[in-house]
Each structure stands twice: as structure tokens, then as C-alpha cells.
Amino acid sequence: LESDRAEFLAHDPDDSSLPVLGVCSHHSFTSVVLTVPLPPIQLVRNIARQAGVHIYSDAGDVIFADSRFITLFAANQGGERLLCMPQPVTLEDVFSETSLTTSEDGTLRLQVARGETRIYRIR
């Protein structure tokens, strides 16, 4: 993490001379360097959001999405989820074949159990 243009946002708590998070803006992109193993998911999500990545959920679930399917795995806890699609869509549950339609802003509220996996076909 050596650069005159780098902005260091966090340092090692045991050695303040060691940066653990740095950001460096270039002409057409921004580099983010994170040198700690297993960073908090909220940090990774916020870096992705800042880069313009679409965030489907802030709940911390495992999500796989492509142009045809979205899968949600509620690994840590159950409860209500707010699924945010990039645009309004109809989702078809691949197991029950029931259809769910998002609101006009592309959001859908779901109830999931801990450990449950939902797989939806995007229509």
C-alpha cells in the first residue's frame, strides 16, 4: 500500500504504521486494498455499493443472481427479508411454482426460516 495518491482509511490496531484499508483514485477507476482476512460483510457490501454494484439484500444472506434466476440462502437467521431487484419483475418459485410480483420499485418482502434456500426464476 505504497502510493502518494493513496488515502489510508484504517490501520492495524497493534501497529499504526501498517495500513489495512486503502483507497486510490485513478482516472477511470478506484482501487480499494484491504489486507485483513475475512473483513466484515457490511464493509465489503458498502465498497461494492460505492462502486455501483446492485445490492439485492442487506440482510447478510448468501445470494446468487444472474439474468434468469435469483437464489437466497438464509444461513444465519430467519425472519423478514427485503429483496431488491433492479427493476419490477415476477419471480416464480422453482419448487412450488408459485409466482410473486415485486412492487413498482422492484422490492419484495419475504419471510424465510434459518437455513432455508429459496430459488426463483425471473420472469
CATH code, domain carrying 115: 2.60.40.1180
* Domain containing residue 117: 62-122
Look at residue 5 and tell me whether its pLDDT is greater than 80.
Answer: no
Q: Are residues 83 and 113 in the same domain?
A: yes
Q: Are residues 66 and 118 in the same domain?
A: yes
Residue 1: inside a domain:
no
Model pLDDT, residue 38: 86
When pLDDT is averaged across residues 69-98 and rounded to a whole number, the result is: 96
Q: Are residues 36 and 16 in the same domain?
A: yes
Residue 31: inside a domain:
yes
Residue 55: inside a domain:
no
Our count of domains for the chain comes to 2
Dist. CA 18–CA 79, nearest whole Å = 40
Model pLDDT, residue 1: 57
When pLDDT is averaged across residues 78-95 and rounded to a whole number, the result is: 97
Residue 90: inside a domain:
yes
Q: Are residues 110 and 73 in the same domain?
A: yes
Model pLDDT, residue 3: 65
Are the beta carbons of 123 and 91 closer than 8 angstroms?
yes
